[in-house]
Amino acid sequence: MSQEDKVKKAAELIKNSDYVVAFTGAGISVESGIPDFRSPGGLWERYNPNEYANYFTFLTHPEKYWTMHMELREMVRDAQPNPAHNALATLEHEYGKLKSVITQNVDFLHSRAGNTKVLELHGTAQTSRCLGCDKTFYFTKVEEMLDQGQVPPRCPHCKGLIKTNTILFGEDLPNDVVEQSREEMIAADLLIVIGSSLTVYPAAALPSIAVKTGSRLIIVNKEITPMDIYADVAIQGMAGVILPRILTVLEEIS
Ligand code: APR
């Protein structure tokens, strides 16, 4: 099947669905300037996740995580939603089809694109909290502390360690978000997986729930994923190009 035929099939699947759910990974934000983790040149090629993104290492060497954060923050700060994020917002607001976005990303680009039900499986970098007194800090406040040379940043009230609300390796995912995500997967009659290698559990187990409970499956990813064999259509390509093309066909056939 040609890529154009796959795009057409994807548009038809969306047209014939009532409860569409999107499951996204770092790949959807690459065209916003944020590198993914496992592509060549990805973040984990430059930073060993066991040293820089592991919860227990963070407790003993927090400066490692915050040093990586300092080097990445310009990219995240300048990032804007790209046409793939905007296509998902259109699917929610103009077609009323997209009911939720379940994301592994912490860049809050889906919310900024306008999606209203965004389930952040791996937390968010938008806020941080003090591990001593649990006080919450918005990211602008933490950036201020970092700009003043406070690495790692410490709570101005109790001097406790400040940690972003992203889920590091070794940390549990937020139970309420996982439960809501499971419910969305069961409710979906169409799941669209975008920009994820589907290799990190427990998040990567969620799309299988949708397929096992009867959902159709579209995958849009730069490379083949372990779930392509279960997909009604799997399109290899750049999300920021493919998703707008699917919406163009959807408009033509609607
Ligand atoms: N369009 C579509 N897909 C893309 C694009 C793009 N522009 N760029 C990259 N990809 C694909 C890559 O080919 C890869 O298969 O996106 C996928 C990204 O995979 P990962 O880097 O493994 O990211 P992700 O699946 O989100 O990782 C899951 O692992 O390290 C943890 O917490 C981290 O949330 C992350 C989790």
Same domain for 44 and 86, yes or no, is: no
Q: Is the CB of 38 under 6 A from ligand 1?
A: yes
Same domain for 220 and 249, yes or no, is: yes
Q: How far is 201 from 210, CA to CA, in rounded Å?
A: 16
Same domain for 74 and 104, yes or no, is: no
Tokens representing 191?
């799941």
Q: Is the CB of 221 under 6 A from ligand 1?
A: yes
- Distance from the alpha carbon of residue 41 to the mean position of ligand 1, in angstroms: 12
Same domain for 203 and 245, yes or no, is: yes
Same domain for 28 and 50, yes or no, is: no
Q: How far is 98 from 14, CA to CA, in rounded Å?
A: 9
Q: How far is 148 from 51, CA to CA, in rounded Å?
A: 24
Q: Is residue 76 pLDDT above 90, yes or no?
A: no
Q: Is residue 72 pLDDT above 90, yes or no?
A: no
Please write the tens of the pLDDT for every residue from 165-219.
999 999 999 999 999 999 999 999 999 999 999 999 999 999 999 999 999 999 9
Asked if 155 contacts 187 with a C-beta cutoff of 8 angstroms, the reply is no
Q: How far is 230 from 210, CA to CA, in rounded Å?
A: 11
Q: How many residues does the chain have?
A: 254
- Distance from the alpha carbon of residue 112 to the mean position of ligand 1, in angstroms: 20
How close are the terminal C-alpha atoms of the chain, in Å?
23
Same domain for 70 and 142, yes or no, is: yes
Same domain for 103 and 58, yes or no, is: no
Q: Is the CB of 102 under 6 A from ligand 1?
A: no
Position in ligand 1 atom list of the atom nearest CA 37: 21
Examine the residue annotation and report whether 122 is marked as an active-site residue of this protein: yes
Same domain for 181 and 161, yes or no, is: no
Model confidence at 77, pLDDT cuts 50, 70, 90, reads confident
Q: How far is 220 from 229, CA to CA, in rounded Å?
A: 13
* Res 149: pLDDT: 94
Q: Is the CB of 196 under 6 A from ligand 1?
A: yes
The answer to whether the predicted template modeling score (pTM) of the entire model surpasses 0.85 is yes
Q: What percent of the chain has pLDDT over 70?
A: 100
* Res 252: pLDDT: 97
Total domains in the chain come to: 2
Ligand 1, atom 15, lies closest to the CA of 197
Q: Is residue 75 pLDDT above 90, yes or no?
A: no
What does the mean pLDDT of the chain come to? Answer: 96
Please write the tens of the pLDDT for every residue from 54-65.
999 999 999 999
Looking at residue 170, the DSSP 8-state letter turns out to be T
Annotated catalytic residue within 61, 93, 122, 157 = 122
Q: How far is 73 from 70, CA to CA, in rounded Å?
A: 5
Asked if 228 contacts 234 with a C-beta cutoff of 8 angstroms, the reply is yes
- Distance from the alpha carbon of residue 26 to the mean position of ligand 1, in angstroms: 4
Same domain for 237 and 184, yes or no, is: yes
Tokens representing 124?
């968010």
Q: Is residue 239 pLDDT above 90, yes or no?
A: yes
Closest to 35 in 3D by CA, of 83, 72, 78: 72
Same domain for 110 and 70, yes or no, is: no
Q: How far is 90 from 84, CA to CA, in rounded Å?
A: 10
Q: How far is 159 from 155, CA to CA, in rounded Å?
A: 4
Tokens 């905007």 sit at which residue? 86
Model confidence at 247, pLDDT cuts 50, 70, 90, reads very high
Give the structural domain span for 59. 36-78+123-166
Q: Is residue 74 pLDDT above 90, yes or no?
A: no
- Distance from the alpha carbon of residue 237 to the mean position of ligand 1, in angstroms: 13
Please write the tens of the pLDDT for every residue from 138-156.
999 999 999 999 999 999 9
Same domain for 210 and 240, yes or no, is: yes
Question: 211: which residues sit within 8 A by CB, 6+ positions away?
Answer: 191, 217, 227, 230
Closest to 40 in 3D by CA, of 203, 237, 222, 236: 222
